[in-house]
Each structure stands twice: as C-alpha cells, then as structure tokens.
C-alpha cells in the first residue's frame, strides 16, 4: 500500500479500500469485498467510540455515499447489513459525543465564544491552536502532514453539508444554497474549493488522489469528517449540521489567515497560499450569512432545534480540539502525526523555509 | 470614477437595481457592511478594487488586512479560557 505511485490517481476516481484497524473495520471491509460471504457480527457495544477502528469503519460506510471505493459495487451504499452495522456505530459515536461534549447553555453563548479570537501575538502563550503552531514554528513537514490529514475533508469540501439542503426551506435554504454555490466555485470549476485544495497539495508535493491519505490519517481526523457525514445524512440532525457548518465558517477566516502566513513562511507555492487567502475573505462573508440567515432562518421556522444547533457547535469544537491535541502532541515530541509518515519534503520547500524567503 | 449603481452590473437576486428597487445593505452595530455583489470599491488613493462574490462584506473597523474586504479582524480578542 505504501508503495503507491505519488500521483497515481486523478481527483475524480474513488480510492482503494483502506487497511483495517480492528474487528469493526475488518467486518465493514469484508462486506465490501465479499458481499456474499457471511462474516460474524462484530461487537460494537464495547468499542472505543473515538478509536481508530470504529472511526475507520464508520468513515468507510459513509464513503459509499460520496464516491465509493475502487472495485466496490455502488449498490452496496444501500446494503441492509452495512446500514445496520453503520447504525450501531453511529449510535456509539453519537452517545459518546452527547455525554462528553462540554455543552453551552444557550446558542448565543456558544456563538459568542466562537466569535472571540484568542490574543494573537505571535508566540503568545495563550495562542495554542494548530494554526498558531504552524504559523509560528511550522516546518514544511508539519504543513504537509496537516494538508494530508485535512485532505480527507477538503477534497470533498462542502459535500457533507449539501445533504442538508432538502431539509431546509425559505430563508435558511436560500442562504445555505448561496454559500454552497460559493464553495463550489460559483459556477466556475477552476474555483471549486476542493480543486483549490488539490492545487495546494500539489504545491506541497502531496498526492492529490481522492482519499489517498486515508490509511495515513488518524482517528481524530476521521472523526471530524464522520461528524459532518452523520449530521448531513440524518434529517433528524439537521439542526446540528447547521451548527457544525456555522462553526466551520466562523472559525475558518482567522485560522486561514494564520495558515496562509504559515504557507508563505514555508515558501509554499502560489496555489497553497491562495487556498487559505481565498478562505480568509470568502468565509468572512459566509459566517455572516450562516449566522443571520441559515441559523436565523432555521430557528424562525423550527425554534425547537436551537439545542441541536448548539450541540452541533459544541461537538465540532470538541472533536477539532482532540484533533489539534493529537497533532501538537506528536509534533512537540518530534514525531509524525500520521500513521504512516510522508516521504521527505522536497528540497525546494525545505530550502525556502531555511532562508526565511518570503514570496 | 465613482461606482454608479444604475449603470453597474445587475445583481442576481432581490434588492438589486435592475428592477428599480433600492439596493439593500445590511449593517450591524459591529462587523462588516453586507451587500450584494459584484461590487467595485474606490479607496482613498483612487484605486478601484472589485469583488464578484454573491455577497460582499465591507470592512468598517478599518483593521482588516484585506481592506476594503472584511477579514474578521473586528472580532473581540480575549485570553483563551483553557
């Protein structure tokens, strides 16, 4: 698996199936490879809800609703056995999230906290997020690892959120569709955010193949993507999806600015810088629209969903926090944050960083 | 030359000038002015910049590093609780 050619696939193709990480993912992969051959039902009740095995199993189930996998029958998307197993995995994940997520009392408290930026003097002891680390001390290999993890989402950027559109109406639907239209490039394929991200990956000498880094990424990143799929695919969780989306849009703009600075400092190419520059500006607009019209419109029609919107915000922050801790713990210990480290950074990137060259 | 909305490109949805209806601009107590795009903005030194987004957020706090576009620099800053 690790000997795959570096740019073996186009962004359009489905990825190869991942390697299993335990009994749950083994069961899912068995069903996809040998749908006719019975396999003992795995025990979902005792699995770690945030662990590598459960998160990969869930991710693999969800991927059938996006692009599927190479060599896997597309109709398995609606296979009753897989859907049954998926429901058990979702139940375990969602129950854990409801129990573990530090909850805000009200939606306005949750939004208020998102809208406050930490004191942001470079290197200040209070600015401890991943984007702060990358801006202040990120080496090219950290940026490349970060992009490899995030590619599991950004190469399908905005797709999980599109599922909420049929569940909204009126002002909320119109606003959500407008933001999604922007995410999808406003009608211009070269501006689709997923394609901009592929450009960033090329600049960082990463493989742009859809799902290429699935084996390399960790449970914490898979949990971020699984949360979106979970909220997107369940109409009953539409409020949580909207809260999740608001969190992404509100936190993206300042974070993207730091990441754009990190890319500049590391001497990454123009596409890598543009991806985050574009998000600084686009998401400063999106967050306004999401707060006013998507959340505002939804709660005007369905005020009883306020708690779900808050849960969506809090769960997103909780899982993003876990992902950030995993990355920073690895990097501070001088280790790779990936399960399989990347090949060494190309000379060009490393050289630019060493000389502090600004492009 | 200042932007003349009557002669400018037609916005794609409500609040536009094509129908003769006034263009609606959204202002909060803090944060950017929101208006429908595309827009051109002439800045103090006469430079004209344009944005073709469906909605544009214009900076009002003057702290944006991408002025005249909002970059969320208006946000309150605080020491993190953690």
Task: Give the least confident one: A48-57, A160-169, A282-291.
Answer: A282-291
* Percentage of the residues of chain A whose pLDDT score is greater than 90: 80
Q: In this complex, do B77 and A181 lie within 8 Å of one another by their Cβ atoms?
A: no
Contact B56, B36 (CB under 8 A): yes
Binned at pLDDT 50, 70 and 90, residue A5 comes out as very low
Of A9-23, A95-109, A257-271, minimum mean pLDDT range: A9-23
Count of domains for chain B: 1
Q: Do B66 and A281 touch (CB under 8 A)?
A: yes
B63 touches chain A (CB under 8 A): no
Q: How many CB atoms lie within 10 A of CB A173?
A: 19
Q: Which residue has the tokens 């914490």?
A: A220
B54: contact with A, CB 8 A cutoff: yes
Can you give the residue range of the structural domain that contains B4?
1-73
- Indicate the length of chain B as a whole number: 82
Check pLDDT > 70 for residue A199: yes
In a domain, B80, yes or no: no
Task: Report the candidate in B26, B17, B16 with the shortest Cα–Cα distance to residue B60.
Answer: B26
User: In this structure, what are the phi and psi dihedrals at residue B50, rounded to the nearest 5 degrees?
Assistant: -130, 155
The answer to whether residue B6 scores a pLDDT higher than 50 is no
| Range of weakest confidence among A307-321, B1-15, B42-56 | B1-15
Chain B CB within 8 Å of residue A281 CB:
yes
Q: Which of A117, A282, A292 sits opposite B77 (nearest CB)?
A: A117
**pLDDT, chain A, mean:** 91
Q: Which domains does chain A have, with CATH numbers?
A: 23-100 (no CATH), 107-354 (1.20.910.10)
pLDDT, average across residues A279-308 = 95
pLDDT band at A117 (very low <50, low <70, confident <90, very high): confident
The Cα B75–Cα A193 span in angstroms is 25
Across the interface, do A118 and B66 touch by the CB < 8 Å criterion? no
> How far is Cα A323 from Cα A195, in angstroms, rounded to an integer?
24
Q: pLDDT value at position B50?
A: 94
What is the average per-residue pLDDT within A101-123? 85
**B76/A116 Cβ within 8 A:** yes
How many contacts, defined by CB atoms under 8 Å, are there between A and B?
69
Q: A121 pLDDT exceeds 80?
A: no
Q: Are residues A181 and B54, on separate chains, in Cβ contact within 8 Å?
A: yes
| Tokens representing residue B67 in the block | 């002025």
Q: What is the mean pLDDT of residues A94-101?
A: 97
Residue among A118, A126, A257 minimizing CB distance to B71:
A257
State the pLDDT confidence band at B49, using cuts at 50, 70 and 90.
Answer: very high
Residue B5 lies in a domain: yes
Binary contact (B53, A128; C-beta < 8 A): no
Inspect the interface and report whether the beta carbons of B55 and A118 lie closer than 8 Å.
no
Indicate whether this model's pTM tops 0.90.
no
B66, closest residue in chain A (CA to CA)? A281
Residue B78 lies in a domain: no
Neighbouring-strand partners of residue A53: none
Measure the CA–CA gap between A287 and A294, rounded to whole angstroms: 10
Determine, for residues A127 and B26 on separate chains, whether the beta-carbon distance falls below 8 Å: no
Arithmetic mean of pLDDT, A233-258: 95
Q: Any idea which residue has 């025990």 for tokens?
A: A43
Q: How large a percentage of chain A has pLDDT more than 70?
A: 90
* pLDDT of B4: 39
Cβ-defined contact of A284 to B57 (cutoff 8 Å):
yes
A143: tokens are 């940026």
Nearest to A289 among B31, B55, B70 (CB): B55
Closest CA relative to residue A7, chosen from A205, A148, A142: A205
Nearest one of A83, A72, A68, A80 to A234, comparing CA atoms: A83
A133 within 8 A of A331, measured Cβ to Cβ: yes
Q: Does residue A348 surpass a pLDDT of 70?
A: no
Q: How far does the CA of residue A186 sit from the closest CA of chain B (Å)?
A: 8
Residues 6+ apart with CB under 8 A from A54: A22, A24, A44, A47, A48, A89, A92, A93, A219
- Does any CB of chain A come closer than 8 Å to the CB of residue B79? yes
List CB contacts (< 8 A) between B82 and chain A: 128
Q: How many CB atoms lie within 10 A of CB B15?
A: 14
In this prediction the ipTM stands at: 0.75
CB contact under 8 A, B26 and A117: no
- CB spacing of A281 vs B71 below 8 angstroms: yes
User: What residues have CB less than 8 Å from A76, skipping those under 6 apart?
Assistant: A31, A32, A35, A64, A68, A82
Q: A109 CB near a chain B CB, below 8 Å?
A: no
Which H or E run contains B57?
Answer: strand B55-58
**Does some domain include residue B39?**
yes
- Among the residue ranges A48-52, A169-173, A219-223, B43-47, the one predicted with the least confidence is B43-47
Q: What confidence tier does A1 reach under pLDDT thresholds 50, 70, 90?
A: very low
Residue B50 is inside which H or E element, if any?
Answer: strand B48-51
- Residue A187, phi-psi category: left (phi > 0), alpha (psi -120 to 50), beta (remainder): left
SS3 B46: coil
- Asked whether residue A7 carries a pLDDT value surpassing 90, the answer given is no
Average pLDDT over residues A44-58: 97
Determine how many CB atoms are found less than 10 A away from the CB of residue A79.
Answer: 17
Q: How much is the average pLDDT of A12-18?
A: 80
A328 touches chain B (CB under 8 A): no
Beta bridge partners of A118: B78
CB contact under 8 A, B55 and A285: yes
Report the gap between the CA of A18 and the closest CA in chain B (Å): 36
Query: Positive or negative, the Cα torsion across A60, A65, A71, A72?
Result: positive
Are A116 and B70 a contacting pair at CB < 8 A? Answer: no
Residue A350 has pLDDT above 80, yes or no: no
Q: What is the pLDDT of residue A31?
A: 97
State pLDDT tens for residues B10-42. 444 444 455 678 888 999 888 999 999 999 999
Residue B79 lies in a domain: no
Radius of gyration of chain B (CA): 15
Q: How far apart are the first and last CA of chain B?
A: 51
* Closest CA relative to residue A252, chosen from A213, A288, A298: A288
**What average pLDDT does the segment A108-129 reach?**
76
**pLDDT > 80? residue A251:** yes
Residues 171-210 (A) with a CB less than 8 A from some CB of B: 178, 181-182, 186
Does A292 contact chain B (CB < 8 Å)?
A: yes
Q: pLDDT of A169-190, one tens digit each? A: 999 999 999 999 999 999 999 9
């Amino acid at each position: 698996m690790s000997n795959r050619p570096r740019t073996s696939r186009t962004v359009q193709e489905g990825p190869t199936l991942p390697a299993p990480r335990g009994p749950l993912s083994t069961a899912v992969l068995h069903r996809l490879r040998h749908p006719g051959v019975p396999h003992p039902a795995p025990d979902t009740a005792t699995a770690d809800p945030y662990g590598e095995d459960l998160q990969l199993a869930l991710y693999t189930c969800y991927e059938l609703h996006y692009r599927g996998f190479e060599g896997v029958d597309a109709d398995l998307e609606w296979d009753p056995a897989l859907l049954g197993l998926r429901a058990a995995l979702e139940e375990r994940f969602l129950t854990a999230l409801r129990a573990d997520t530090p909850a805000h009392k009200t939606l306005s408290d949750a939004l208020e906290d998102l809208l406050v930026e930490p004191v942001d003097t470079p290197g200040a002891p209070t600015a401890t997020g991943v984007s702060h680390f990358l801006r202040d001390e990120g080496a090219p290999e950290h940026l490349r690892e970060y992009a490899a993890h995030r590619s599991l989402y950004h190469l399908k950027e905005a797709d999980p959120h599109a599922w909420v559109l049929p569940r909204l109406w009126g002002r909320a639907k119109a606003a959500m569709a407008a933001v999604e239209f922007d995410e999808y490039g406003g009608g211009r394929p070269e501006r689709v955010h997923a394609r901009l991200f592929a450009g960033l990956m090329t600049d960082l000498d990463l493989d742009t193949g859809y799902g290429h880094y699935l084996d390399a990424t960790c449970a914490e990143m898979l949990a971020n993507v699984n949360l979106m799929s979970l909220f997107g695919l369940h109409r009953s969780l539409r409020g949580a999806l909207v809260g999740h989306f608001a969190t992404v849009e509100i936190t993206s703009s300042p974070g993207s600015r730091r990441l754009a600075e990190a890319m500049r400092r590391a001497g990454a190419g123009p596409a890598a810088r543009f991806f985050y520059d574009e998000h600084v500006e686009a998401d400063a607009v999106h967050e306004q629209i999401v707060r006013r019209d998507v959340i505002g419109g939804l709660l005007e029609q369905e005020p009883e969903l306020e708690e779900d919107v808050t849960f969506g915000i809090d769960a997103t922050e909780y899982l993003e926090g876990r992902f950030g801790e995993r990355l920073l713990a690895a990097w501070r210990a001088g280790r790779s944050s990936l399960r399989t480290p990347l090949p060494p950074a190309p000379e060009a990137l490393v050289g630019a960083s060493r000389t502090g060259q600004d492009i | 030359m200042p932007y003349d909305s009557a002669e400018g490109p037609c916005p794609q949805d409500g609040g536009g000038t094509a129908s003769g209806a006034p263009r609606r601009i959204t202002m909060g107590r803090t944060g950017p002015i929101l208006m429908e795009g595309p827009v051109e903005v002439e800045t103090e030194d006469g430079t004209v910049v344009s944005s073709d987004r469906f909605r544009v957020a214009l900076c009002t706090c003057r702290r944006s590093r991408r002025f005249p576009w909002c970059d969320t620099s208006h946000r309150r800053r605080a020491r993190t609780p953690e």
